[in-house]
Copies of this chain bind each other. A is one copy, B any other.
Amino acid sequence: MDTDRLLRELTDFLRIPSVSTSASHNADCRAAAEWVAGELRRLGCREVQFLASGTHPVVWGVGPEVPGAPTLLVYGHYDVQPPEPLDEWTTPPFEPTVRDGKLFARGAADDKGQVFCLLKAIEGRGGRPPVNFRFLIEGEEEYGSRVLFELLRREPERTRADAVLIADMAYIAPRWPAVYTTLRGLCYAEISVRTAKSDLHSGEFGGAAPNAHEELARLLGRLKTPDGKVHVPGLYASVKRPSKVELATWKRLPFREGEFLKHRVQAKALTGLKAYSVLERLWALPTFEIHGITGGFTGDGAKTVIPAEATAKVSLRLVPDQKLKTVERQLVAAVRRFAPRHVQASVTFLHGADPATVKVTHRAFQLLDQAFREVVGRGTVPARAGGSIPVVPALGKGGAPVILTGIGLPDDRLHAPNEKLDLKQLWDGIRVFGRFYELLGSMGVG
Contacts and interface: CB of A to CB of B under 8 A. Distances in A.
A307 B22 CA distance: 19
Given A267-B195, A307-B290, A415-B304, A278 B208 contact: yes
In the complex this chain forms, how many copies of it are found? 2
Nearest to A205: B265
B289 A214 contact: yes
Nearest to A265: B209
A195 B301 CA distance: 24
A102 B199 CA distance: 20
B84 A297 contact: yes
Interface string A220-240: 110010101000000000000
A292 B203 CA distance: 16
Nearest to A286: B207
A217 B218 CA distance: 7
Interface stretch (A42-50, A246-254, A381-389): A381-389
A269 B342 contact: yes
Contacts of A84: 297, 299, 303
B387 A203 contact: yes
Contacts of A99: none
Contact of A226 (B82, B301, B304, B340): B340
B196 A290 contact: no
A269 B210 CA distance: 8
Contact of A291 (B213, B264, B417): B213
Those 6 A-B pairs whose CB atoms lie nearest each other, nearest first: A203-B387, A21-B301, A292-B296, A197-B266, A269-B342, A213-B290
